[in-house]
Structure 1
Amino acid sequence: MCSFKNCVLLALGAWLALAQGVAQGAGYVDVLDLPARPSALAMHSPLLDLARAGQRLVAVGQRGHILYSDDAGKSWRQAEVPVSSDLSAVHFPSAGQGWAVGNDGVVLHSGDAGVTWNKQLDGRQIGALVLKHYSDLATAEPDNEQWGLLAAEGQRLVEEGADKPFLDVWFANDKLGYVVGVFNLILRTEDGGQTWTPCQDLTDNPQGFHLNAIASTGDGLYIAGEQGLLLKWDERGQRFNTVQTPYQGSYFGVIGQPGEVLVYGLRGHVFRSTDDGASWQPLGSDLQVNITTAFLGDNGRYRLFTQAGHMLQTLAGDSPLQRVPQTEQSPIASAVQAADGALVLVGSRGVRVLPVE
């Protein structure tokens, strides 16, 4: 089971592959080498993630489109982006420094709050990076079979080429961060993306499930994945350990605050833990629709959104999920609360702004 964003990326990828095939006769240029084209319709095109960069909003989506708004989503400008790969996630640990990731193993960085972007990594480099890292470990520790297996995985990535989607990105600060993606693909940087280290050996994910999302709750760093996979960073052991949950379906995201974590995903499932994942309580709803994104508002309410465009809310603590009536519904991939309190949503139809409550 792929994540919502990954399913959208796969569909867009198929469309782009067809378009590229038609364009072969006109001189094909790899999307990794083709800057995103300016488009007056960019804010109405599919967008897959949204983040705040201080007071600014930054959204990412198909064909390398990155947009930014300085008026709480009322108007948008298109950023300068060096690739046309579909982008799935964006994160700003500070107002000025941000990272975006997506198809073809793309990792982009902005040092000016999302106005311009440079490419730090792409899928043409990742296979060789993984192969060298684990081959060096295998040489240093020839009796450790794990290194040889992971080196072989690196060789497979080399042979497969650039198609290695990243699904999410998270940075603790302007230096330390992670990118995660399909088949347990996870890289770490400690220098703001100048260099990246493979971390496949640091996850309790022997079956290689997709890593759909990574997020911090303030007192824990979690990774949510398919088939019930939930991992939490163990600072002492320096690895992501399994957290047992009551559900075996895919999780699409994790959110929380100190002392509380929510994990959500397939068919409307949401679970809350207030004891570091030792126990979980379901937050029931009558919906059987995938929950794709969530955020914690300034008023202390969690807002959760579905693939069909529903909005749910719950207060911190034991309150149940409640559906919020809307005059319009469309698929929602990401949502944030703007500086003026408005809710800004992005999805398959681009940007939608709900007024301040």
Structure 2
Amino acid sequence: MNTFRWIALTALAVAMAVPFTRVVVAADFVDTLSSPAIQSEKAINGMFTGLASAGKRLVAVGQRGHIFYSDDAGVRWHQAQVPVSSDLVAVQFPSPTQGWAVGHDGIVLHSDDSGQTWSPQLDGRQVGQIMLDHYQRQTAQQPDDPASAFLSGEAQRMIDEGADKPFLDVWFSDEKNGYVVGAFNLIFRTEDGGQTWVPLMERTDNPGALNFYGMRAIGDDLFIVGEQGLVLKLDSATQRFVNVPTPYNGSYFGITGSSRAVLVYGLRGNVYRSVDHGTNWDKVELGVSSSITASTVTADGQIILVSQAGHVLVSVDDGASFTQKPQEHLGPAAAAQAVGSGSMVVAGAQGLRQLPYQ
């Protein structure tokens, strides 16, 4: 199994520095889906992997179910009430009050108070059964459809294996309509703010069940990126995520851009740019070989990329070119969010840090 997105990059960095040893530790089992996140002043110094704006508030998610929010652009942070201790990977707010966070164990959390408190809407104990019910109904209606029969079998396998499949990104266009995506072609959609979820695995051009690492709307287009150069775009006519070929076959970790250009970024500093909605792609030369793991767009349209090694690269021409900005050592970065004139917050292994990008 491939490790996932940010955790994969961190594990790779550690593995290069530390000789492999096997350590076996006996410990009592803890059900992270039934154990609330521990309230601790030290949690702010842990690993954070997702950032989002909720109006003027900033919300960060990370390991062990920790969620923090800041009302002063990342100067001071307060810990949220979270009912699970699963590792969280991504967060998004389509409005100032309504937000969603996703992570390991198939968890989907919802907040209706700008990230101060959270409640579960979906978890890995439910995912397999929802899939099984959905695809069995499809098989009954279309008994000659091999895809539904295959996905029914995959659903049963997920039930048997338990709640171990992560969701790795979330995207809502408004307070009702959204998607969560994750490992092994996992993709679910809601049209009622997360009260119900529908699997869409049969609607992706992903026959190898590759991992989905990121999902974003850029302009009028909705993209998914993943491993082995996977880029998909929603076809509004068929409601299918169709393959969008690019020149690179390594993993992409995220998408960014504007209505004028879309950029996909990933391993070894690879960034590709399209100005025709993904039909053609050109490589953007960054001058760095570290994997690009985070991005943000400022209020005035500057595109910022941050690398696994802590490089900060800024574009003022819709991603056609980037300038590297000198920074003190950041360490591996997992997420970034512009917070004001010339400032951003970066999340990663060293916690949450506010820093200038100009």
Q: What is the TM-score of this pair, normalised by structure 1?
A: 0.93
Q: 1:114 to 1:341 in 2, by over 3 A?
A: farther
Specify the code of the residue in structure 1 equivalent to 2:317: A
Counterpart-to-counterpart distance in 1, 2:23 and 2:110: 27
Counterpart-to-counterpart distance in 1, 2:113 and 2:23: 33
Specify the code of the residue in structure 2 equivalent to 1:122: D
For the Cα contact (< 8 Å) 2:56–2:71, is it kept in 1? yes
Instruction: Say whether 1:221 aligns with 2:215.
Output: no
Counterpart-to-counterpart distance in 1, 2:279 and 2:147: 29
* Corresponding residue number in structure 2 for 1:88: 89
* Corresponding residue number in structure 2 for 1:39: 40
For the Cα contact (< 8 Å) 1:2–1:226, is it kept in 2? no
Q: 1:131 to 1:260 in 2, by over 3 A?
A: same
Post-superposition Cα deviations, 1:89-113, rounded to whole Å, max 9, x if no partner, equal: 0000000000000000000000000
* Corresponding residue number in structure 2 for 1:146: 147
Give, in angstroms, the shift of residue 318 of structure 1: 6.5
* Corresponding residue number in structure 2 for 1:338: 339
Counterpart-to-counterpart distance in 2, 1:102 and 1:197: 18
Following TM superposition, the consecutive aligned residue runs of length 4 or more in structure 1 with deviations greater than 3 angstroms are: 8-11, 18-23
* Corresponding residue number in structure 2 for 1:162: 163
* SS of residue in 2 equivalent to 1:338: strand
Specify the code of the residue in structure 2 equivalent to 1:109: H
Specify the code of the residue in structure 1 equivalent to 2:259: P
* SS of residue in 1 equivalent to 2:97: coil
Alignment of 1:288-299 (within 5 A): 288-299=289-300
* Corresponding residue number in structure 2 for 1:171: 172
Q: 1:19 to 1:340 in 2, by over 3 A?
A: farther
* SS of residue in 2 equivalent to 1:284: coil
Specify the code of the residue in structure 1 equivalent to 2:285: G
Specify the code of the residue in structure 2 equivalent to 1:152: G
* SS of residue in 2 equivalent to 1:41: helix
Counterpart-to-counterpart distance in 1, 2:43 and 2:64: 10
Specify the code of the residue in structure 2 equivalent to 1:289: S
Alignment of 1:1-357 (within 5 A): 2-7=3-8, 22-24=26-28, 28-317=29-318, 319-339=320-340, 341-355=342-356, 357=358
Q: 1:251 to 1:356 in 2, by over 3 A?
A: closer
Counterpart-to-counterpart distance in 2, 1:20 and 1:8: 23
Give, in angstroms, the shift of residue 298 of structure 1: 2.1
* SS of residue in 1 equivalent to 2:242: strand
Counterpart-to-counterpart distance in 2, 1:268 and 1:163: 30
For the Cα contact (< 8 Å) 2:273–2:320, is it kept in 1? no
Counterpart-to-counterpart distance in 1, 2:251 and 2:334: 16
For the Cα contact (< 8 Å) 2:90–2:101, is it kept in 1? yes
Q: 1:200 to 1:273 in 2, by over 3 A?
A: same
Counterpart-to-counterpart distance in 2, 1:106 and 1:34: 13
Q: 1:3 to 1:286 in 2, by over 3 A?
A: farther
Specify the code of the residue in structure 2 equivalent to 1:312: L
- Sequence identity (%): 49
Counterpart-to-counterpart distance in 2, 1:290 and 1:142: 45
Specify the code of the residue in structure 1 equivalent to 2:147: Q
For the Cα contact (< 8 Å) 2:232–2:244, is it kept in 1? yes
Give, in angstroms, the shift of residue 329 of structure 1: 2.5
Q: 1:21 to 1:198 in 2, by over 3 A?
A: farther
Specify the code of the residue in structure 1 equivalent to 2:42: L
* SS of residue in 2 equivalent to 1:88: strand
Counterpart-to-counterpart distance in 1, 2:24 and 2:345: 33
Give, in angstroms, the shift of residue 78 of structure 1: 0.3
Specify the code of the residue in structure 1 equivalent to 2:8: C
Q: What is the TM-score of this pair, normalised by structure 2?
A: 0.93
Counterpart-to-counterpart distance in 2, 1:127 and 1:171: 22
Give, in angstroms, the shift of residue 29 of structure 1: 3.8
Counterpart-to-counterpart distance in 1, 2:237 and 2:190: 19
For the Cα contact (< 8 Å) 1:6–1:167, is it kept in 2? no
Specify the code of the residue in structure 1 equivalent to 2:131: V
Give, in angstroms, the shift of residue 340 of structure 1: 5.4
For the Cα contact (< 8 Å) 1:50–1:336, is it kept in 2? yes
Counterpart-to-counterpart distance in 2, 1:138 and 1:21: 45
Q: 1:207 to 1:76 in 2, by over 3 A?
A: same
Post-superposition Cα deviations, 1:65-101, rounded to whole Å, max 9, x if no partner, equal: 0000001100100000000000000000000000000
Give, in angstroms, the shift of residue 210 of structure 1: 0.3
If asked which structure has higher relative contact order (CA below 8 Å, sep 6+), I would say: 1
Q: 1:356 to 1:10 in 2, by over 3 A?
A: closer
Specify the code of the residue in structure 2 equivalent to 1:92: F
Give, in angstroms, the shift of residue 355 of structure 1: 4.0
* Corresponding residue number in structure 2 for 1:15: none
* Corresponding residue number in structure 2 for 1:14: none
* SS of residue in 1 equivalent to 2:41: coil
